[in-house]
Amino acid sequence: MKGARDCAAGCEARERYTDGLNCAQGVIGALSGAPGVPDVTESFGAGFTGGIGHSGCVCGALAGGVTVLGEYAKTAGLEPIATRALAEELSSELHERFTDRHKAACCRVIKRGQTEGSDEWLSGCADITEWTAATVADIVARHQGTAVRPRWAFRDALSTTRRVSLNVLAGAAVALAVAAIAPDVAWAGYLFLILAGGGVALEAGGPSGRRGGRVVRVAGGIAAAAVVVSMLFAPETMARALTLVIGDSAGALLARAVLALAVVAAAGTAAFGLKRYR
């Protein structure tokens, strides 16, 4: 089950991080009191910001995970030496899986070339915090001889559906904006298909790809604002652009069907109160 994700722990850790805690506190707080894990004070991880006090090493999420595993080892009822050996074994597994995925254990290596506090930096730390908490939960569950229950798999599917549908809508907004100023409306239709399809493909690429999908959504938001302004101040121009979706051509029919599905998917997932992750 290597690489399994428990969103009950991972998603909570991510939310704690985006709410202002550091990555170590996010991991500890999300796992404290979880099945098999004793209560752990999240302030244990307060000093692991940017490594140890911004020193760049070791990653706070990894340190928080090791802290939780050490506390978990105490619940096995072993002698002190055996408790330490168990904590070492579990922590070694976490370190191995962490470095396999992130290629390093130190912040300054993982975040090399990134500006501290930038969107790229914060998004990457949120991803690492979520993954680490989920991995620790997986290690604990496996040690207990139980499987990680996919009770949050439905939420994961909804979250992905929402992002994909927003990418489709973003592609449509960009295409409409282009159609309003480009002489060839059909070309804008192809642009819609390219952007919508590209956004979906990026979402399928995992966390790194999602950053690209976010670019598509941001571009779509800007384009949507431009379309609204154009509808108010240049209605004739927008009427021509809207033939992308209101015409009788096969392409327009397809566009309407795709956009209707995207709107339903976005509204349906939003109704479940899902938060948009950074």
Tens-digit pLDDT profile for residues 123-150 = 999 999 999 999 999 999 888 864 344 4
Mean of the pLDDT values across residues 82-101? 92
Confidence of residue 62 (pLDDT cuts 50, 70, 90): very high
Between 69 and 75, where is the model more confident? 69
Lowest-confidence range among 13-27, 78-92, 175-189, 252-266?
A: 175-189
Place of tokens 């139980």: 146
Return the HEC string of the chain: CCCCCCHHHHHHHHHHHHCCCCHHHHHHHHHCCCCCCCCCCHHHHCCCCCCCCCCCCCCHHHHHHHHHHHHHHHHHCCCHHHHHHHHHHHHHHHHHHHHHHHCCCCHHHHCCCCCCCCHHHHHHHHHHHHHHHHHHHHHHHHHCCCCCCCCCHHHHHHHHHHHHHHHHHHHHHHHHHHHHHCCCHHHHHHHHHHHHHHHHHHHCCCHHHHHHHHHHHHHHHHHHHHHHHHHHHCHHHHHHHCHHHHCCCHHHHHHHHHHHHHHHHHHHHHCCCCCCCC
Task: Calculate the average pLDDT of the chain.
Answer: 78
d(CA 56, CA 41): 23
Confidence of residue 26 (pLDDT cuts 50, 70, 90): very high
Lowest-confidence range among 32-46, 89-103, 155-169, 255-269?
A: 155-169
Mean of the pLDDT values across residues 105-112? 90
Mean of the pLDDT values across residues 212-233? 78
Q: Are 58 and 51 in contact (CB under 8 A)?
A: yes
Q: Are 70 and 121 in contact (CB under 8 A)?
A: no
Residue 96 has a pLDDT of 94
Place of tokens 């479940």: 272
Amino acid 46 reads A
Residue 214 has a pLDDT of 73
Write the pLDDT tens digit of every residue in 168-215. Answer: 788 777 777 777 766 555 566 666 667 777 766 766 655 445 566 677
Q: Give residue limits of the domains in the chain.
A: 7-143, 153-270
Mean of the pLDDT values across residues 231-238? 76
Q: Give yes or no for residue 262 having a pLDDT over 80.
A: no
